[in-house]
Structure 1
C-alpha cells in the first residue's frame, strides 16, 4: 500500500498543467533558471518559483546555485524510478492500454 501512496503523491505533483509544462521544458534542456522558465511559459516569476518549490519537494528537479542564479534541471533518475514504480504496481498492461 505504501507504493500506491507514493504514486498518488507524485500524480498530485503532475496534476497541475503548469508543472507539467515546466517538466516538459526542462526535459528538452540541460538546465534553466527561473527567468528562463518565466520567459518560455509567460507566467510570473513568483508563480514559477512556487511550482519549482513543489517539484523540488517531490525530488523531480535539481537546483544548483551558480553565482547569483539557481539553475534547475530534471532529476531523470527520479522520473525513471516513478515510471518503474507505476509499472510494478499497476502492471505493464495498464501503461500499454
Structure 2
C-alpha cells in the first residue's frame, strides 16, 4: 500500500474530529452494525447517523455491505492501518524536510 497524501490524512482527521462520528467509528471497529443498531447504541437519530456514516465513508474509514434488506457498516481496517503508518511517518520526518518560513 502506498502512503497517504497529506490531503487524505487531513480528510481522515476532519472526519474523526466530530465526537459523534468518532464514537460511531469506534463502535464499527468492534464489528458490523446496521444504522438502526448504531442509533440504539449511541442514542443518536437515524438521519444524523446516516450523515455521519456518509462522511466516514467519504474518508474511506467505513465500508458498507448489503445483507438482505439491511446495510451493515464496519471499519475499513486497511485504510486505518495505512493512515496510522502515514501519519507516523510524517511525525518522524526530519525537521530539515520542513520548509522554512519566509
With normalisation by structure 2, the TM-score equals: 0.83
Unaligned runs of 5+ in 2: 94-102
- TM-aligned CA deviation for residue 6 of structure 1: 2.1
Q: Which runs of 4+ in 1 moved over 6 A?
A: none
Question: Which residue of structure 2 lines up, in the alignment, with residue 32 of structure 1?
Answer: 33
Question: Which residue of structure 2 lines up, in the alignment, with residue 91 of structure 1?
Answer: 92
Aligned residue pair count: 90
- TM-aligned CA deviation for residue 9 of structure 1: 1.4
Question: CA separation in 1, counterparts of 2:85 and 2:35?
Answer: 30
Unaligned runs of 5+ in 1: 93-97
Residues 18-29 of structure 1: pairs in structure 2 closer than 5 A: 18-29=20-31
Question: CA separation in 1, counterparts of 2:8 and 2:37?
Answer: 30
Question: CA separation in 2, counterparts of 1:11 and 1:24?
Answer: 14
Question: Which residue of structure 1 lines up, in the alignment, with residue 57 of structure 2?
Answer: 56
- TM-aligned CA deviation for residue 44 of structure 1: 0.3
With normalisation by structure 1, the TM-score equals: 0.87
Question: CA separation in 1, counterparts of 2:28 and 2:88?
Answer: 24
The correspondence for 2:10, drawn from 5, 8, 11, is: 8
Report the structure, 1 or 2, having the larger helix content.
1
Q: Larger radius of gyration, structure 1 or 2?
A: 2
